[in-house]
Amino acid sequence: MSSTRPPLGGCPHCGTEIPDYRLLIEYETADGPSVFAECPSCEDVVTPA
């Protein structure tokens, strides 16, 4: 599987860049859309920053 989409952002815990295929769910906030994704390094579910 290859993807041309940019990474989702960095893990707020360990700083690892989270690739888009780690996306779990997208949701809406008062500030706009946000996502939950699984960090490939610490394997935690985070909001990429």
Residues that bind Zn ion (CB under 5 A): 11, 13-14, 16, 39, 41-42
Nearer to Zn ion, 26 or 44 (CB): 44
Shortest distance, position 6 Cβ to Zn ion, whole Å: 18
Buried-state track 15-28, b at ≥16 Cβ within 10 A, e below 16: eeebeeebeeeeee
Residue placing its CB nearer to Zn ion in the complex, 30 or 43 = 43
Residue 23, helix vs strand vs coil: strand
SS3 20: helix
28 versus 43: smaller Cβ distance to Zn ion:
43
